[in-house]
Structure 1
């Protein structure tokens, strides 16, 4: 993985690599800090294959640790700073780290949760740089640039099959599960995405997402491939987002629907020239048309690129940027060198245009979940025809005759009501088509609770249901509508459906 950084250094050593709230580094300086981080990890007893857990905000220091762990052959395990003790305890037990690095004021909290040493970032950074002074964002003078210091003489060569990262995700299990990311799969996925999105040396990538989510982590690698500048903006104030985008000259902005809505809302209040955004890349869920229109109005000429994927293979499909207006319902075409098949419940291919489970094969399919053999066996199965692993996504969709993918819903989104199979997504899309509805989440029936729609709006619930009846067939119109002040979201900006279901089950309608 660190070869991507070294290639960027060879080509553009003085090009700006990283910017955060405290300053900037060029590619040469990032590489030097990453080598110093590798030496520090070695001195702390970290060996090839050991897990290094980091629970830190996404700053330049975290990126240096990321590449330093890669050089060491260690497994980088980034955790969201917002993860609480309830999940931290099980994650640390599952990961079995050799070392934990966290914020200095969090060491006392994490110490009792793991037998591994827990080191504060200030202490770690002083050891990495060999200096106690603050300098530039803890940096002080740059460390030695001697490439021969990357590995000790007795270190075995790193291979592409070695594990680079563990990415913990929530979903179908009570505790977060870790997707195994070897160097080969991670670098292939990065190169395949870059082939579609075409990050460039003049790009400024404004990333709001933490490296604990693969959407944020891969931006580090894509920026290296494009020789682009990456702005680490997850700590920026919500109210300053559009202003900050303009200040740094953002040209590429990764978004999810909630962030896109926030940017569009703030942009309407701004005066002056907008940031020179040429491309928004969306994932997580489909953007409401009103949000798309608002982004296009606020950032003239910017393309809005639809994407679809899972951490288990990183990205499944990307809509080519120059096909933004083609096939409006499609989420893109499979990445170069990969294949998507749509299968029925018996594992047989369905006809073109027919909905079935989305399955994926290719060099980007990860080998499974860390220390979860049963879950791995259910999700990652052998493709008898190709001989490799086939990822069974649990998502449902269809392919058109040209191979473009259409997403119909996740397994948890699909349900039957009154004998008709339907998806929460189509109900939410219809609700978002109603003028005045800012956010919508459909909660499927369960027990005594019937299908319920939760919305952010100033409209009366009865008015929302009346408008829905004009857009959906009767069986798909929810029995109830609940207006919420603020739609609860997951850490990745998706509707927190479980939280909504718990709210509905615990209060009268």
Structure 2
């Protein structure tokens, strides 16, 4: 599909990087990818091999992924922000493959690991290296968090990418369009951003994320580049929509996904100046980015209590099943199981886990992926997401779906976002709620108001014993709500002499410095930090705190505790 546009329009712009000012035409991309494919072949890479890629959103990333596929291999995108220990685990699971490195991203790789730079020019010989023509061949391996704490590699075949981007029923991308490229490469939104653009003859525009710039500056950059198609995580969409509900009016298509979309914020955007098409996308990595989509309009949301996840993507089958994999009655809740060419092949080196999640439909024998998500079909056939099977907890003998509490709390309209977690074990176990006050609600009053209202809706054992009032929803590296940061605010290690935000500072510094242990009395420079690493720490903290963090404060502070005290806002405060 990419080769078609290379032959038809070799001088058309394939990638434009607004970070560096660089660009590549389709012809140049194909040539540089061919050079990399030749280098990989010289290193012994063959069809079916795995090749890791360490690069952030950039021209180098696009060249690297294209080059690996031109070699007939499968790419393994590494999270540029992942701790070194996690990177090492992923590489071991993949059999220690070579790593293609772009943009100086080799710092987190194990010492001595084989690396290849991204070529900055074409191959010496004009090699004809066609991409793999086996639709069942693995195109990439995407590592996601596992319930055991060990990441699991999802094997995504070429046919699954084609299902996502060929003749999509949820958006339209055409030659001349510009698609934003911002996603963390380890997040499968990259599949939509890059291959959705390049297989359509459009341009990938590499941009900073909204977390890296003030909102107004970021919006100006988007407008200047002429981007018309974009993906945002739900949390990032919510953050921008609160500040500027008219921010997306210049876009042709905005796809939002990752978490439950806030109904009232969505309506505000639709009223203030919506994009040409606002799509709520849903899908686990195992179903290749999206399995369902819902076109949000004033009319489609008029009588809704929540934003649905919608209807099946093209060439995708959806089944709402009970525990025995039998269909439930219309309107009843059940587990969403997905079939069709978008379903992955399974997990790398995890046959038992694969067998438990990728199952045969007892009626047809077709492979279905069990999402673990509980849904129900509404009167018009759209699906609503109700919660997850694996977030069911047991407390004092009662089984509790945490999402049920979250939905009930949001329904009070006292809080815009609510997250509930079980904390502790045995007799010390309790439910803790984290809530962002709705406009007009006094933060100090929110815990009592929620307790009173939830008493009317839920049994006593489902009402959180403690509430933490959020100033902002802290975000993780992929833009999703960071529950770990929320829980850090109630860590028993926090004392009056331990400034709010210190746990988060320690966690982020440890990530950037490769997993070192960080204490409150440690000095950043003594730990191996420098000015460049300080910028990385400040950027990640700024994203999680939804604020601007000055890296100079980290370099000047004598200790981590002193730096934490300078943060422009506390991510959470207890009440």
Q: TM-score range by the shorter chain?
A: 0.7 to 0.9
2:115 match: 118
Q: CA deviation at 1:504?
A: 3.5
1:167 match: 142
1:99-133 Cα offsets, whole Å, 9 max, x none, are 11235755465233xx74124x4xx425xx2xxxx
In structure 1, runs of 5+ residues without a counterpart are 130-141
2:549 match: none
Matches within 5 A, 1:97-496: 97-102=96-101, 107=106, 109-112=108-111, 116-119=113-116, 121=117, 124-126=118-120, 129=121, 146=126, 148-150=127-129, 158-191=133-166, 194-234=168-208, 237-239=212-214, 240-265=217-242, 267=244, 276-296=250-270, 299-314=273-288, 315-320=290-295, 324-325=300-301, 328=304, 329=306, 330-400=308-378, 402-415=380-393, 423-429=401-407, 431=409, 437=415, 439-444=417-422, 447=425, 448-457=428-437, 459-467=442-450, 469-470=452-453, 473-475=457-459, 476-496=462-482
1:190-242 Cα offsets, whole Å, 9 max, x none, are 326x2321223343222331222111232111112433222222467331321
What secondary structure sits across from 1:504 in the alignment?
coil
Distance 2:302 2:179 in 1: 25
What secondary structure sits across from 1:179 in the alignment?
strand
Across the aligned residues of Structure 1 and Structure 2, the Cα RMSD in angstroms comes to 3.1
In structure 2, runs of 5+ residues without a counterpart are 495-573
Distance 1:107 1:380 in 2: 35
Distance 2:207 2:125 in 1: 28
CA contact (8 A) 1:250 1:275 kept: no
Distance 2:398 2:452 in 1: 16
Distance 1:283 1:42 in 2: 37
Aligned partner of 1:7 among 4, 7, 12 = 4
Q: CA deviation at 1:442?
A: 1.7
Q: Does residue 25 of structure 1 match 2:24?
A: yes
Q: Report the TM-score when normalising by structure 1.
A: 0.84
Moved more, 488-497 or 308-317: 488-497
Distance 1:418 1:427 in 2: 16
Q: Does residue 34 of structure 1 match 2:33?
A: yes
1:138-175 Cα offsets, whole Å, 9 max, x none, are xxxx55794x4326xxxx97422221100011142312
Q: CA deviation at 1:431?
A: 4.7
Distance 2:42 2:303 in 1: 54
Q: CA deviation at 1:248?
A: 0.9
1:442-471 Cα offsets, whole Å, 9 max, x none, are 224653232221134583354244156447
Distance 2:451 2:406 in 1: 10
CA contact (8 A) 2:232 2:254 kept: yes
The change in CA–CA distance for 1:327 and 1:191 in structure 2 (over 3 A counts) is farther
| Number of aligned residue pairs | 478
Q: Report the TM-score when normalising by structure 2.
A: 0.75
